[in-house]
Amino acid sequence: MAYRRYVTESSDARSQVLCPLSKVGAVAHLLGAEALHLQYPTQVVFDAVTVGVNEGDRIGIVGRNGDGKSSLVGMLTGRIRPHSGRVTRRGGLRVGALEQADTLDPAVTVGTALVGDRPDHEWAGDARVRDIVAGLVADLNWNGPVGALSGGQRRRVQLAALLIGEWDVIALDEPTNHLDIEGITWLAGHLNQRWSRNSGGLLLITHDRWFLDEVATTTWEVHEGPRGGVVEPFDGGYAAYVLQRVERDRIAAAAEAKRQNLMRKELAWLRRGAPARTSKPKFRIDAANQLIADVPPMRDTVELTKVATTRLGKDVIDLLDVSVSFGGAPVLRDVEWRIAPGERTGIVGANGAGKSTLLGLIAGTVSPDSGRIKRGKTVRLAMLDQQSGRLAEIADDLVRDVVGRLQTSYLVDGKELSPVQLLERLGFRRDQLSARVRQLSGGQRRRLQLMLTLLDEPNVLVLDEPTNDVDIDMLSATEDLLDSWPGTLIVVSHDRYLLERVTDQQYAILGGHLRHLPGGIDEYLRIAARQRSPAAPTSKRSPDRGPAMSGAELRALQKEISALERALAKLAQRINAKHVELAEHDQSDHLGVTRLSGELRELDAELAASEERWLELSADLESHG
């Protein structure tokens, strides 16, 4: 997309701003900044930055942690005062902002925090308010005190309270934190429908790349410049940003060759694995394809499975008819899962569904109430958890001392790398080696934790919400490392992009049961929506609701559903075993490979038919519940 360069004069500096040509003079100005300068004692954050927000803009803001994304939004919304320059607003403009800090009064009730003193009939009569309450806080006690909520629940209340208000511009700083995949999907739909196409303005800081693609129509990249932070505009969401950034780096022959190669690899996945994501930006697709012509596939699945089988054998971890309950309440029921060597699986589910319990069963920190767990003799399991307990033990150590206690080199992606080189690949700078572990930012601690986990050389790796406190560049670097990691990978995350990027299949925890998702995250969202939706509305005539079932008929229906769920789990295991068999088979035996591929397709078809039958029976059970 073409941009027109404007030069603005102020008493402090002469600055430049890039504006899309298609928007010049066509859309009303809402909010802007001219020649902003912001600095702290040790850093110039921005120098002479000029940006603008027009009617209809949906702007995603990306960049590394610490480069000034939150500071930029803080200046635009009035929370932070720049040292020079000015922020301009249209008269009467209403600006609402969600910050990362908790601003709720712990003494008020949830209802008061959301709608204030408005009578019930007033707010309940507003369809938009009802939708926000249902989408974000339906599980919370309306009359309970805010102070009794967890940090994640308070964050959802804070977001819902902001969205209930009437705003011309909304600024959101990491709004997907503490939201599950259903909540993130709801929020994307709400923001897309909140204003008409050419009205309202949105500023969005997030590391959730799927969310960026769904919501943003423009991307601002905040990065270091020669005299301070620079804001560079790109047309479109994350996929479009990757396309343009690769082209920019190629033309400019950017010195940051490592970042360029990462983006080219990311682009290759976007074009090959999710082509629909590049449909929004208006680019020359042929040129984009030329850029990735020499980029190999993300993963050689067959080769990785061969190596994993060699390291692990055929037995990894089997969960056999496992059930777990806490305080008499069932959490997981009849879980049947035979984890295969080289398997790369993502686990999804609502908050509280039992994902952490499932990981505990795999890691051996949770014991089942019934059923049994078999572990292969060669399994070496490592978990990247949310508590960072390992780093607490070395909090006072210098990073260089931690690295110095490791062996001198490791084989990563076919190359010998030292621990320092691996840290640099994950975005560490050499000067940060002199810091103590406790002085590192959340993202830096996460990078160090990941490196230490990988260097333990496990053959089964479990990642629990690995995207927390991590910027997009770090996510890309992590995905790059995992692409060549030859072991079994289990990932629990609400980051849809990450799951689709690094795993080959997904499972969901629904109603305490573990279910395979042949259709991926989209299938999970369809099933979850169907389970949430109430039965057909009561009316004088309900032709879709069949005659009432007897108790015996209901029990028979429930029995068939349970049998189908067990069959689905076994089918998923047979499919995994067939993948391993195909990987181990002599690839020069074309007849054998063709036969095994046909058997795999038959199993996939059987699984799809069983899934369809399960959906029909579940809908029948709901309608007669």
Contact indicator for 453, 469 with CB cutoff of 8 Å:
no
Contact indicator for 347, 490 with CB cutoff of 8 Å:
yes
pLDDT (tens digit, 9 = 90+) per residue, 412-455?
A: 666 777 888 878 877 777 777 888 888 887 777 877 888 888 77
Q: What is the DSSP string of 507-549?
A: EEEETTEEEEETTHHHHHHHHHHHHHSPSSPP-S--TTS-SPP
| Residues listed for the chain | 625
**Residue 194 burial by CB count (10 A; 0-12/13-18/19+): exposed, middle or buried?**
middle
- Report the half-sphere exposure of 41 (CA within 13 A, side-chain side): 0
Nearest to 230 by CA among 48, 405, 76: 48
Which helix (H) or strand (E) segment holds residue 616: the answer is helix 590-623
Contact indicator for 154, 179 with CB cutoff of 8 Å:
no
Distances (CA, A) of 565 to 335, 350, 514: 9, 19, 8
Q: What pLDDT was estimated at residue 71?
A: 92
Nearest to 373 by CA among 320, 315, 336: 320
Question: What are residue 319's phi and psi, to 5 degrees?
Answer: -100, 115
Rg (CA), the chain: 26
Q: What pLDDT was estimated at residue 11?
A: 33
For the chain, report the end-to-end CA distance as a whole number of angstroms: 54
pLDDT (tens digit, 9 = 90+) per residue, 380-395?
A: 898 887 666 778 888 8
| CA dist., res. 320 & res. 301, Å (int) | 26
User: Which residues are CB-neighbours of 199 under 8 A, at least 6 positions away?
Assistant: 55, 56
| CA dist., res. 24 & res. 241, Å (int) | 21
Q: Residue 5 forms beta bridges with which residues?
A: 18
Structure tokens at 367: 């014991």
pLDDT along the chain (625 residues), means of 10: 34 38 59 92 86 95 88 94 93 92 90 92 90 92 91 91 96 91 94 93 94 95 87 91 82 59 73 56 54 56 50 80 90 92 91 90 93 91 78 87 81 73 77 82 78 83 83 81 83 91 91 88 87 47 49 74 79 78 74 79 80 74 62
| CA dist., res. 163 & res. 126, Å (int) | 13
